[in-house]
């Protein structure tokens, strides 16, 4: 990419359109998720090559449990497979963080998630956030409970509650807010993704379905980000 292009520090990606991709090809939905998982791997590598500080992928929402058991089970086994593979290329120095309520997971998948987080926690490269059983409303309630507990324990005063303390009780604690949110698949909504953190994020909606998403699409999105004039409420 052009040297004058500003690479966002933190991109959030809503990986959407797997089902429609499969339907178009008369394939089962889980084939769309499989292709989507391959694209996730490639785009992660590319974000690393571009030198991003953080990237957050929305992989499974708190609402996605409503889907048929067959699809949910398919997604869970794909996750396991791809996390194992993903961890292989984590030699690249990425730190991996799972955003979301882990209490829904158990057994091998939970062990794998905890193991990956533990093994990568001191790494200094890009932070790869994977939002799994993630919902922004759930995250905000979770942060509120933590803070209420601290007040109850007498660790902090009500007046100590401010935006910084609140941010530090979210799953994304210590990370920069996303500069940029990208949603492929043509849908133009946020679907409970990072509500607190996107206060000043730029949005790009793209017509490509996630399994068809390429490095070139990310380049184009970053180019569009460069055309935006961010003001943060100033002039
Ligand atoms: C995104 O693709 C993957 C998950 C939400 C798990 P979808 O499965 O939502 O694909 P569409 O939106 O039905 O095409
Ligand atoms: C958002 O996509 C969640 C993920 C991509 C993981 P959905 O497909 O679940 O969102 P809606 O239902 O179209 O809003
Ligand atoms: Mg969808």
Write the pLDDT tens digit of every residue in 67-115: 999 999 999 999 999 998 887 777 788 999 999 999 999 899 999 999 9
Indicate the angle between helix axes 29-50 and 215-227, nearest 10 degrees: 60
- In this prediction the pTM is 0.97
Ligand 1 atom 12: residue of nearest CA: 17
Ligand 2 atom 9: residue of nearest CA: 64
Strand segments, DSSP code E, in 83-147 are 95-99, 127-134
Does the beta carbon of 130 lie inside 6 Å of ligand 2? no
Which ligand 1 atom lies nearest to the CA of residue 209? Answer: 14
The reply to whether 166 falls in a domain is no
Distance CA 173, CA 76 (A): 26
The reply to whether 219 falls in a domain is yes
The reply to whether 171 falls in a domain is no
Q: Cα 37–99–13 angle (5° rounding)?
A: 50
Does the beta carbon of 194 lie inside 6 Å of ligand 2? no
Does the beta carbon of 191 lie inside 6 Å of ligand 1? no
The reply to whether 3 falls in a domain is no
Known catalytic residue: 16?
Answer: yes
Dist. CA 18 → ligand 1 center (Å): 5
Ligand 1 atom 3: residue of nearest CA: 16
In this prediction, residue 2 carries a pLDDT of: 76
Task: Tally the domains of the chain.
Answer: 1
Dist. CA 211 → ligand 2 center (Å): 14
Known catalytic residue: 162?
Answer: no
The reply to whether 161 falls in a domain is no
Ligand 1 atom 8: residue of nearest CA: 19
- Whether the CA torsion 196, 197, 200, 202 is positive or negative: it is negative
- Of 50, 87, 88, the residue nearest 98 (C-alpha): 87
- Of 173, 178, 181, the residue nearest 142 (C-alpha): 173
Q: Residue 64 is part of a domain; what is its CATH number?
A: 3.40.1180.10
Q: Look up the domain containing 76 and give its range.
A: 10-135+177-226
At residue 197 the predicted structure's pLDDT band, cuts being 50, 70 and 90, is very high
The enclosing H or E element of 57 equals strand 54-61
pLDDT(187) > 90: yes
Higher-confidence residue of 235 and 137: namely 137
Rg (CA), the chain: 18
């Amino acid at each position: 990419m052009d040297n004058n292009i500003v690479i966002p520090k933190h991109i959030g990606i809503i990986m959407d359109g797997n089902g429609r991709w499969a339907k178009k090809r008369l394939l089962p939905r889980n084939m769309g998720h499989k292709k989507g998982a391959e694209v996730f791997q490639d785009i992660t590598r590319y974000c690393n090559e571009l030198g991003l500080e953080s990237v957050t992928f929305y992989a499974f929402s708190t609402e996605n449990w409503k889907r048929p058991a067959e699809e949910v089970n398919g997604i869970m086994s794909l996750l396991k497979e791809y996390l194992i593979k993903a961890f292989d290329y984590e030699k690249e120095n990425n730190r991996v963080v799972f955003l979301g309520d882990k209490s829904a997971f158990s057994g091998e998948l939970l062990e794998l998630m905890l193991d990956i987080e533990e093994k990568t926690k001191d790494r200094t490269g890009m932070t790869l956030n994977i939002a799994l059983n993630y919902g922004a409303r759930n995250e905000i309630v979770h942060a509120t409970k933590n803070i209420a507990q601290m007040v109850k324990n007498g660790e902090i005063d009500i007046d100590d509650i401010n935006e910084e303390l609140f941010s530090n009780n979210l799953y994304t604690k210590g990370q920069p807010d996303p500069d940029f949110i990208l949603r492929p698949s043509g849908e133009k909504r946020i679907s409970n993704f990072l509500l607190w953190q996107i206060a000043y994020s730029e949005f790009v909606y793209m017509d490509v379905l996630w399994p068809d998403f390429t490095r070139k699409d990310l380049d184009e999105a970053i180019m569009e980000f460069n055309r935006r004039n961010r003001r943060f409420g100033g002039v």
